[in-house]
Structure 1
Amino acid sequence: MTASRSSRRRAPRLPAVRLYESLRTAHLERAHELAPASIVYRVTRYDFDASLAEGLDLVPAGRLRAAWLVARSRVETLEVNEPLMTSSLPATALVLTALAVRRRVTGRPTTVVSYLIGNADPFGAATAPRLRTRLRRRGERVLARAVWRRLDRVVYGTDAARETYARLLGEPADHATVTTVPALPIRHPEARGGDVRPPAVTFVGSFVERKGLRVLAAAWPLVVAARPDATLALLGKGALEQEARALSVAHPAVSVEVDPPRPRIHSVLDGSRVLVLWSQPSPTWREQVGLPIVEGLSHGCTVVTTTETGLADWLTDHGHVVAADAASPEVLAAAIVQALDAARPADAVLADLPTRDGRLAADDRLFGRDAGTGAGRPLDGARS
């Protein structure tokens, strides 16, 4: 979306502000459900749908201008990207510095909050052979710690995130209010639930190495050998599309749909017994939660995944199949067969889900609202 000249010049209008490095369709969809807030962002992503911006206060701004505009606004609560998101640290640090100057001049405090799901070490390259890389990572760690100590309210979306932050940045500041709200969905409005579904397996996501599609392609013949009645639906797009199509040619029970619309994805999940997201370890990336996992759960699917996701412990404790050996087709095949043979009813999966979406419940905590009512509710120790 190309912002108007006036929107580039004006400060955020609302007393709650969300500071984003980049803005995409998923953010816009969620913004209509979260606490009302202005959104200050630097860039839009490829999937930005301008039609969803209607009714939202969006303020595009570069890093320096964002600091100026936010400091000039009537902001009382500011949500920032989590400190382990290193690409956002310069903008966050500039805005917090501007707000610190404002407080000295005007005495007006700002509550700073953040939702945390990061579970990977972004500073691992600090020991890299290139001096420039080491210096950049060390600088990012300094900024991350500064932002970390400034946060007044934090909500962890997974236990893995809480452990990662404690290991890399230590405990939050003494004045901070800290809560963990699992990043779980509620039952999808169109989920049919019911008893045991046919032995249908679904993969949703990017057709790329890190999502485990190549391992899944190698594992599928082993699944069919054990469960000849099993079917596999591959929904997504990406660099491994030809490998996905080759698998469907070799095995008629495998179907491929490239970039299907959202209603079609929900329809397929609603008829699936198992959702597979075989996330692979990477030096620069780790699955924080996994949107396909969340959507599969919301439709009553049994999840097969690896320990890379931050929801690994919860999934293990609630009857899903989680494995540590992400590289082995044999392990994946055994996990899929185990999930199929468990024949868990969709209603049993859905019964484990909360009555309020985890991200919305987290936002209630961040912005001091009573869940489900939107009423303001200050949290003890939240102001700095």
Structure 2
Amino acid sequence: MSEPDEARARAVRVYKTLRTAHLERALELPPADILYQESRYDFDEGLVAQVRPQQVGDLRCAWLVARHGYETVEINEPAAVDCVRRSALVLAAALVNDLLRRRHTRVVTYAIGNIDPHTLPKPAPWWPRLGRRLDLVLAHWVWRRVDRVVFGTETARQLYGTVFGIAEQRGLRWTTMEALPAECSCLADGGKTPGRLLFLGDLSQRKGFDSVLAAWTTVRHRVPGAVLTVVGRGALLDDAYAAARADSRIHVIADPPREVVHAELRRASVVVLPSRRQGAWREQVGLPIVEGLAHGCTVVTTDETGIAGWLARNGHGVVPAGSVAELLAPALAEAVTRPLDAGTVRASLPRRDSRLESDAWLFAREVIAVRT
């Protein structure tokens, strides 16, 4: 990593996994170094030159944090136990640096975790099981080092209050900001197409794509003229192609560039994401949901997402995850037939993306914790 300028040297964001959403958000945030270990399938290489993140292993990541002496370090949330060893190494390096420099590095995190890590399935072999116990110990130690946290969902706030403790942590500043987007700036370029249903993202069972294909048979008969557009890639891509070959009202666009994704979101009247729990995974918010809202779409999803309560209160379709097989098709048919007005959806959103507001609160030199 080249020697950062003074503005960049004050803060660093340490992630295990980096995705396009991080890169896009970084362009709107105050300058900060970004250190990551791996990238997601939706990683946009075109943004890398603008953001300049650095891919490093855990030990080098900790060394760089110690070397540069950042004022503020953002880490993955402690409930994400698969990231906690990296966070612990970074915080240990910062702690040593603080002792030498006689100061305090501020540690901040954004939390949307909604599964108690103590209840995750335990590995069968003894060695990974021992590693899991270590991760849980480290998760609590990392949490005690956090100075500021924004909870992106009420579900996350409840989890941390119950599992990690909030009130008991002296000096912790926290607030809750619902993980909602602002209206997308691209909306002036197009309008909604009636009857257009969009599945966006990972074509997998955990994201409920198989349930969408099963429900579509009913929807297409109930709603003449409805069209299903599938945008993304994943294990069930071949199933998507097979469905499209058998039905001219299904269109598949595999792993397109971002401008195509935005174009499809502008056209869609409904975005569907019927996520279900799978192993140690549970939908925290769902980027397709966030992007759908930002483009004025009606959302149909399950109660697995952390913003299910907000969606239900604002007229979107929320189906119990355990009843998807029976309830998804009628919910989709209703949404496609009578979608929310796109302007009403956009008016329900904050004027500024809540993740950007959260970041401003976390990195502000002085904050007043509004504990909502």
Normalising by structure 2, what TM-score? 0.90
Of the candidates 68, 81, 88, which is equivalent to residue 86 of structure 1?
81
Of the candidates 13, 26, 44, which is equivalent to residue 31 of structure 1?
26
Of the candidates 85, 103, 111, which is equivalent to residue 108 of structure 1?
103
Matched ranges for 1:101-180 at <5 A: 101-125=96-120, 129-171=124-166, 173-180=169-176
Q: Which letter does structure 1 place at the counterpart of 2:324?
A: S
Which has the higher mean CA deviation after the structures are superposed, 79-88 or 62-71?
A: 62-71
CA distance in 1, matches of 2:368, 2:233: 46
Q: Does 1:66 align with 2:54?
A: no
Question: Does the 8 A contact of 1:43 with 1:60 survive in 2?
Answer: yes
CA distance in 2, matches of 1:294, 1:189: 14
Of the candidates 10, 15, 30, which is equivalent to residue 15 of structure 1?
10
CA distance in 2, matches of 1:45, 1:259: 13
Q: Which residue of 1 is the match for residue 363 of structure 2?
A: 367
Which has the higher mean CA deviation after the structures are superposed, 322-331 or 265-274?
A: 322-331
Which has the higher mean CA deviation after the structures are superposed, 137-146 or 226-235?
A: 226-235
What secondary structure sits across from 1:379 in the alignment? coil
Q: Does 1:213 align with 2:201?
A: no
Identity of aligned residues (%): 44
Alignment deviations for residues 282-335 of structure 1 (CA, whole Å, 9 cap, x no partner): 121111111111111111110000011111111111110101135633311011
CA distance in 1, matches of 2:44, 2:245: 35
Unaligned runs of 5+ in 2: none
CA distance in 1, matches of 2:127, 2:188: 54
Which has the higher mean CA deviation after the structures are superposed, 209-218 or 253-262?
A: 253-262
Residues 202 and 22 of structure 1: is their aligned pair in 2 closer, same or farther, counting only changes over 3 Å?
closer
CA distance in 2, matches of 1:253, 1:295: 23
Residues 259 and 194 of structure 1: is their aligned pair in 2 closer, same or farther, counting only changes over 3 Å?
closer
Unaligned runs of 5+ in 1: 1-5, 369-376
Q: Which residue of 2 is the match for residue 335 of structure 1?
A: 331
CA distance in 1, matches of 2:98, 2:239: 57
Q: Which residue of 2 is the match for residue 278 of structure 1?
A: 274
CA distance in 2, matches of 1:230, 1:46: 29
Q: Which residue of 1 is the match for residue 237 of structure 2?
A: 241
Residues 210 and 44 of structure 1: is their aligned pair in 2 closer, same or farther, counting only changes over 3 Å?
closer
CA distance in 2, matches of 1:232, 1:89: 39
What secondary structure sits across from 1:304 in the alignment? strand
CA distance in 2, matches of 1:74, 1:352: 41
Question: Does the 8 A contact of 1:280 with 1:327 survive in 2?
Answer: no
Q: Which letter does structure 2 place at the counterpart of 1:168?
A: V
Of the candidates 255, 261, 266, which is equivalent to residue 257 of structure 2?
261
Residues 56 and 271 of structure 1: is their aligned pair in 2 closer, same or farther, counting only changes over 3 Å?
closer
Q: Which letter does structure 1 place at the counterpart of 2:212?
A: L
Residues 11 and 216 of structure 1: is their aligned pair in 2 closer, same or farther, counting only changes over 3 Å?
same
CA distance in 1, matches of 2:190, 2:55: 46
Q: Which residue of 2 is the match for residue 371 of structure 1?
A: none
Aligned residues: 369
Q: Which letter does structure 2 place at the counterpart of 1:87?
A: D
Which has the higher mean CA deviation after the structures are superposed, 66-75 or 128-137?
A: 128-137
CA shift for structure 1 position 129: 4.8
CA shift for structure 1 position 341: 3.6
CA shift for structure 1 position 346: 0.8
CA distance in 2, matches of 1:113, 1:248: 46
Which has the higher mean CA deviation after the structures are superposed, 40-49 or 231-240?
A: 40-49
Question: Does the 8 A contact of 2:118 with 2:136 survive in 1?
Answer: yes
Q: Which residue of 2 is the match for residue 378 of structure 1?
A: 366
Q: Which residue of 1 is the match for residue 48 of structure 2?
A: 53
Q: Which residue of 1 is the match for residue 287 of structure 2?
A: 291
What secondary structure sits across from 2:299 in the alignment? strand
What secondary structure sits across from 1:260 in the alignment? coil
Which has the higher mean CA deviation after the structures are superposed, 97-106 or 351-360?
A: 97-106
The structure that is helix-richer by fraction is 2
Alignment deviations for residues 320-359 of structure 1 (CA, whole Å, 9 cap, x no partner): 0101135633311011122134332111111101100111
Normalising by structure 1, what TM-score? 0.87
Which has the higher mean CA deviation after the structures are superposed, 107-116 or 93-102?
A: 93-102
